[in-house]
Amino acid sequence: MIHEVILARLPEDASPDLVEKLMVETRMRLLKIPEILGLSCGKRIDPTQNPYPFFIALEFESLSKKRVAYQNPIFTIFLSQVLQPAITDSTTLTFEMDPGKDVRFS
């Protein structure tokens, strides 16, 4: 099982409504992709300790299913029309969740 966390920075002048819109759009669009087994997204609580105002967490069965999801037209459109215009920078972290599994075979 693969877990991926996308941490996104927004412009300094971004309104709180932008984060709310991103949360709604993320759920509406990405939950339509069958390869995404789990989806969470949200906003930061404490800006003094967290430089990322928005995050998306995705779960996939395997790295190959992740690749299929990222090639899905719904995901491509989400990135180009929703996420990329709204953010200034992002960091993506990918983890293997099965204990004892060699990450080379994820």
Global pTM exceeds 0.85: yes
State how beta strands 2-9 and 38-43 pair: unpaired
Q: What is the pLDDT of residue 105?
A: 59
Ranges of each domain in the chain: 2-96
- CATH classification (class only), 2-96: alpha beta
Count of C-beta atoms within a 10 Å radius of residue 79: 13
The token pair that represents 86 in the structure block:
């709204």
pLDDT tens per residue, range 41-62:
999 999 899 999 999 999 999 9
Tell me which of 87 and 106 has the higher pLDDT: 87
H or E element that contains 69: helix 63-71
Beta bridge partners of 60: 2
From the number of C-beta atoms within 10 Å of its C-beta (0-12, 13-18, 19+), residue 104 rates as exposed
- The DSSP code for 81 is I
